[in-house]
Amino acid sequence: MIYQHPLAYLLALEGGALLRAFNGEYDREFTHARFAEIRALLESSAELGDGVATRPVTTAEGYDAWSVDYDGPNGLIDIEQPLVRKILDDLPASQALDVACGTGRHAAYLASRGHTVVGVDISARMLAAATAKVPDGDFRLGDLRQLPVPDDEVDLVVCALALTHEPDLAPVLAEFARVLRPGGHLVVSDSREDYPLVCKLPDGGYGYMPHYKKPTSEYLVAALPLGFRVRGCEELRFPRPDLNAMPPDERTLPEHPSDIWTLSGWCRVAARTAIAGNPLLIVWHFQLD
């Protein structure tokens, strides 16, 4: 179980913003504004309510629950998708495997580019959505660490925003190497954000999926011994905000303490400045020797 309290999140944002000011990124006025917000937040602690204990759920449970609205607005996907497609556009049509395919957004694009597509996901509900989206695709229920695909079967593996759930990259990348033919390509995108992924469950409760933020070197340590060589790597960071254009704070209570987007409205400047410049997303292009 993890314990989440709205005030803990808000004070953490204020602390992150103050550390940046202490490092010289912001001035005295900014610092004292954060002090005033902290005092106001502490005075509002009763309004924020008690914290909650949130139970862990498996990746399959979490993505089954997310499948209903996964294709809705998602800022991370909006940034990730063009970067991945830029790589895919330069690769010839071939036998492609979309690992952790979700609702099939990359599988659909691969099919439109002439690839023969196999999709694998651990969530049956995600696979149902992918099958509806890509009727000619071959979608299979399976795990990243034990793919239901023969050795040397594909020329391209795509894995998008899924490795963040894996504590150890080595066995997963070994599976990718196993199913790839020599000279095959691996395109990986991964979130670098650092907060728990909490989802609303069908029973009305909430659960969180384990989420592991990895340093850049960890991908290389796992990939290079397997014979992968780096063809490209691009990292994106949270942008620096224009403090003069920030909207006013909006103190709306979230349905659940994990709703960081609603909570961030309580202290927008601190929320934006605390994460400015932090890693947001990484996209890799590997080729198997």
Identify whether residues 132 and 255 lie together within a single domain. no
Identify whether residues 136 and 217 lie together within a single domain. yes
Low-confidence ranges of the chain (pLDDT < 50): none
Q: Which residues contact 285 (CB under 8 A, 6 or more apart)?
A: 87, 185, 186, 187, 230, 231, 232, 233
pLDDT value of residue 198: 85
What's the total number of domains in the chain? 2
pLDDT value of residue 74: 87
pLDDT value of residue 70: 87
Identify whether residues 39 and 132 lie together within a single domain. no
Single pTM value for the model? 0.94
Quote the strand ranges of the chain, DSSP E.
2-4, 52-56, 95-99, 116-121, 138-141, 154-160, 180-191, 197-200, 206-209, 228-237, 279-288
Does residue 288 contact residue 239 with C-beta atoms inside 8 Å? no
Identify whether residues 159 and 223 lie together within a single domain. yes
In 3D space, the residue among 1, 11, 3 whose CA is nearest the CA of residue 258 turns out to be 3
CA distance 282 to 135: 30
Identify whether residues 73 and 215 lie together within a single domain. yes
pLDDT value of residue 259: 85
Identify whether residues 45 and 156 lie together within a single domain. no
Residue 152's domain comprises 57-238+279-288
Q: Which CATH number does the domain housing residue 97 bear? A: 3.40.50.150
Identify whether residues 252 and 118 lie together within a single domain. no
CA distance 126 to 175: 21
The residue written with tokens 């309580």 in the block is 266
CA distance 143 to 188: 16
CA distance 69 to 221: 35
Does residue 45 contact residue 266 with C-beta atoms inside 8 Å? no
- Per DSSP, the three-state class of 288 is strand
